[in-house]
Amino acid sequence: MKTNILVQYRGSGYDGCYWEWNYFYIDKQGTFHDIHSSGSAGIDNLKGALALIERDETHTYIYDLSNKQDIKAFSKETHPVHISGVLQWFNDNEDIEFFAVCSACGCRIDSCDDMIIEDKDLFCYDCYMAGECPCCESYIGQEGIVRVNPDEHYDHIWICIDCKEYHDGEREPDMFSGELREQRL
């Protein structure tokens, strides 16, 4: 029997029409742990778990947690909301190695407290901060953030291109009015 494995499989929703990802963990001693199970296809015991593994279905994924590559693969292939749920479970329940991987820098994130989920991505704090525009307070991505003169951009040093263009546009009318025009004359 395989041990120290995280298994992702299709459990079913309550009226049988929908499915959702369910998870269980079989620890190093071979003990079954139900991380999340739902509906009639949900599995809450070792017997059911072994039967599922035996059936070897297309939508059953087995991750060997003794292998770092498997843990990384899980983080890459799974929606961040689920990664966070599974990581939280390991944070709370088990003293075994498990982590999420930052979508931007690939660093290892050991705790749910150290990650930020943004749409389909999961970021470490550093990457999130580097890609967030402090002016419009939205996540843009590092490539969309530019350095600006804080005097012209409400004291922000780094802002997104849209905010920069917007501020630049706001200032333009001044060029043709009042002081500036007088200086030119």
Residues of the shown chain interacting with Zn ion in the complex, contacts defined by CB under 5 A: 102, 104-105, 107, 124, 127, 133, 135-136, 160, 163
Q: What gap in Å lies between CA 20 and CA 160, rounded to an integer?
A: 37
Q: How far apart are CA 137 and CA 11, in angstroms?
A: 37
Residue-wise over 170-181: b if at least 16 C-beta within 10 A, else e? eeeeeeeeeeee
Give least dist CB 106 to Zn ion, A. Answer: 7
Q: Which is nearer to Zn ion, 42 or 131 (CB)?
A: 131
Shortest distance in whole angstroms from residue 177 CB to Zn ion: 26
CB of 42 to Zn ion, least distance (A): 34
- In the numeric block, the tokens 């966070």 are attached to 84
- Residue 73 Cβ vs Zn ion, minimum distance, rounded to whole Å: 18
Tokens of 29: 């001693």
181 to each of 159, 177, 184, how far by Cα in Å? Answer: 29, 6, 5
Identity of the residue, 18 or 125, whose beta carbon is nearer to Zn ion in the bound complex: 125
Neighbours of 185 (CB within 10 A): 5
Which CB atom, from 52 or from 102, has the smaller least distance to Zn ion?
A: 102
Contacts 24+ apart (CB under 8 A), 140-145: 142/104
Q: Which of 50/136 has CB closer to Zn ion? A: 136
- Smaller CB separation from Zn ion, 52 or 135: 135
Least distance in angstroms from the C-beta of 20 to Zn ion = 28
